[in-house]
């Protein structure tokens, strides 16, 4: 019996997707396929297999060491894997044992910048067919299933800011080896502070056009490319998608952008605040709504009100649990420097109608089928599976308890409302005590995640500036 059969996945839909992936492999005459899973930080890791091994991989997966799931952002293993239970009371983690990444054939893509290569995202399983509880894609999939049982589908669109630089010198001398390595020397593509000007866009057009062409050819639902306010800062937006699609889009977009940029002599970073003079923070605004499974209508639309009762209760859940959920929307030490008053980023858990200073911005209106929420709390380095899963868990609690979001905030930086955490440590403390997120994401996972992030804090709290430069400038 194959792994897909043991996992209960070998249905007609999976069989058809597998046949289609194999057909495209042969039609494109690809020689290799990259198999990738999103780790706990949302970074793609994996293995590359030759074309002749794809069929076996699609049915039985490819093994890799569990230590990949136990590392901090500097790639150091933070759990004692040689102890009983792997330092976490889980027999399967002992001794750097293997788990299996099982390719999802529906995610198959050909790489435009490496036409000899295919690409598939993977879910993580144990060899006996059980889902690996630390697989973040599985966590979102499980949360979406819970939402589906309630009669809704999750719909999301992405609005992502990041920095793009000219690569001047990669630090690849023998003396530059280390853990982590030194970031490259870079220069700006523009001086910034001319938001949305055509002149600034044209200065960046050569690399932006390369990115656009490759991302569209990759099949990502790119919607717009914009010059942002800060130096060498841009923003890409993507059309809405349902279920896993928006999260898959985000991990593929980040990884593809970094690869395409590097191949063309540029450096892209999704770190919130790179170590630059006069830098502007990068955010990730998550646009979201729910679709009614029976009617296929937007559940946030009301004929007479700005937001339906369903939308209001869901939004109230996002606000109620904002401090704890920040551990997933803003999972880096660096990201909390963005929460500043009068900065076009939120600093407290409030909502408003078309107001860019609030945490949750309501867009649309009575009878508008495009009515939705824009949560402006996230940073572009967030793991999208955890970010979206946490949103769904919080929103469902608002629906269950029929929470009231309170009045719209006209003065977002003066309103009386809970402040967002001022540090990752503060967010983790809130998460540890949040029973809703613990129940929705699993006690085991939340305990693992908080320990992992606490290890980063313990290591880097006395050297944040160095850490900002060396860790996230090169990793994200």
- Strands 360-363, 372-378: pairing is antiparallel
Q: How far is CA 108 from CA 19, 90, 120, 250, 251, in A?
A: 11, 32, 5, 15, 14
Backbone angles phi, psi at 94, to 5 degrees: -65, 145
3-state class (DSSP) for residue 65: strand
DSSP 246: H
Question: Residue 433: its pLDDT value, please?
Answer: 97
Strands (E), 175-320: 185-187, 222-227, 233-242, 266-269, 284-292
CA–CA distances in Å: residue 30 to residues 27, 111, 118, 176 = 8, 10, 7, 35
Judged on CB neighbours under 10 Å (0-12, 13-18, 19+), 23 is exposed
Rounded CA gap, 136 and 81, in Å?
20
Alpha-carbon distance values, 161 to 66, 153, 229, 254 (Å): 32, 26, 10, 11
What are the angstrom distances between the C-alpha of 401 and each of 151, 310, 384, 397, 405?
Answer: 17, 11, 26, 6, 12
Q: Are 190 and 276 in contact (CB under 8 A)?
A: no
Within a 13 Å sphere around the CA of 372, how many CA atoms are in the beta-carbon half?
Answer: 20
Question: Any residues with CB less than 8 A from the CB of 313 and at least 6 apart, and which?
Answer: 398, 399, 401, 402, 403, 404
Tokens at residue 109, please? 């893509």
Residue that has been written with the tokens 């089928």 in this structure = 369
Q: What angle do CA 21, 25, 26 make, to 5 degrees?
A: 120
Rg of the chain's alpha carbons, rounded to an integer?
22
Alpha carbon distance 352, 372 (integer Å): 12
Q: Kindly give the interhelix angle for 322-329 and 443-460, rounded to the nearest 10 degrees.
A: 70
Beta bridge mates, 292: 152
pLDDT at residue number 469:
55
Q: pLDDT tens digits, the chain, 476 residues: what are they?
A: 999 999 999 999 999 999 999 898 888 789 999 999 999 999 999 999 999 999 999 999 999 999 999 988 878 888 888 888 877 788 888 888 899 999 999 999 999 999 999 999 999 999 999 999 999 999 999 999 999 999 999 999 999 999 999 999 888 888 888 776 777 889 999 988 887 788 888 999 999 999 999 999 999 999 999 999 899 999 999 999 999 999 999 999 999 999 999 999 999 999 998 888 888 999 999 999 999 999 999 999 999 999 999 999 999 999 999 999 999 999 998 899 999 888 888 999 999 998 888 999 999 999 999 999 999 999 999 999 999 999 999 999 999 999 999 999 888 888 889 999 999 999 999 999 999 999 999 999 999 999 999 988 887 765 555 545 555 555 55
Where are the strands (E) in 270-371, listed by range?
Answer: 284-292, 351-353, 360-363
Region of residue 127 (left: phi > 0; alpha: psi -120 to 50; beta: else): alpha
SS3 465: helix
């Amino acid at each position: 019996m194959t792994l897909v059969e043991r996992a209960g996945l070998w249905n007609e839909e999976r069989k058809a997707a597998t046949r289609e992936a194999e057909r495209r492999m042969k039609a494109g005459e690809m020689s290799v396929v990259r198999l990738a899973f999103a780790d706990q930080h949302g970074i793609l890791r994996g293995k590359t297999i030759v074309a002749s091994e794809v069929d076996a991989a699609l049915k039985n997966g490819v093994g890799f060491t569990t230590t990949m799931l136990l590392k901090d952002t500097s790639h150091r293993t933070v759990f004692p894997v040689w102890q009983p239970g792997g330092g976490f009371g889980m027999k399967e983690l002992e001794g750097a044992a293997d788990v299996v990444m099982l390719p999802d054939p529906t995610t198959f893509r050909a790489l435009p910048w490496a036409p000899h290569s295919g690409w598939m995202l993977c879910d993580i399983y144990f060899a006996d067919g059980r889902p690996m509880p630390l697989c973040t894609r599985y966590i979102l999939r499980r949360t979406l299933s819970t939402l589906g049982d309630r009669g809704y589908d999750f719909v999301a669109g992405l609005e992502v800011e990041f920095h793009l630089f000219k690569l001047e010198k990669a630090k690849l001398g023998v003396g530059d080896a280390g853990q982590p390595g030194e970031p490259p020397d870079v220069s700006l593509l523009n001086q910034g502070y001319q938001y949305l000007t055509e002149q600034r866009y044209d200065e960046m057009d050569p690399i932006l056009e390369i990115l656009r062409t490759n991302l569209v050819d990759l099949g990502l639902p790119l919607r717009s490319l914009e010059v942002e306010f800060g130096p060498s800062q841009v923003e890409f937006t993507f059309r809405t998608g349902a279920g896993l699609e928006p999260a898959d889009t985000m991990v593929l977009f980040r990884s593809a952008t970094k690869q395409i940029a590097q191949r063309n002599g540029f450096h892209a970073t999704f770190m919130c605040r790179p170590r630059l003079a006069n830098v502007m923070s990068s955010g990730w605004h998550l646009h979201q709504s729910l679709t009614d499974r029976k009617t296929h209508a937007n559940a946030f639309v009301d004929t007479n009100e700005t937001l339906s009762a369903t939308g209001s209760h869901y939004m109230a859940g996002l606000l109620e649990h904002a401090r704890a959920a920040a551990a997933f929307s803003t999972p880096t030490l660096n990201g909390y420097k963005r929460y500043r008053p009068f900065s076009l980023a939120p600093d407290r858990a409030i909502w408003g109608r078309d107001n860019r200073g609030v945490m949750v911005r309501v867009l649309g209106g009575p009878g508008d089928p495009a009515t939705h929420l824009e949560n402006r709390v996230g940073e572009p380095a967030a793991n999208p599976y955890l970010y979206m899963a946490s949103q769904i868990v919080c929103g469902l609690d608002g629906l269950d308890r029929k929470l009231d979001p309170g009045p719209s905030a006209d003065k977002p930086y003066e309103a009386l409302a809970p402040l967002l955490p001022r540090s990752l440590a503060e967010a983790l403390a809130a998460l540890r005590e949040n029973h809703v997120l613990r129940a929705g994401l699993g006690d085991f996972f939340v305990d693992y995640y908080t320990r992992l992030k606490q290890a980063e804090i313990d290591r880097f709290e006395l050297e944040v500036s160095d850490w900002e430069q060396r860790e996230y400038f090169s990793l994200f």
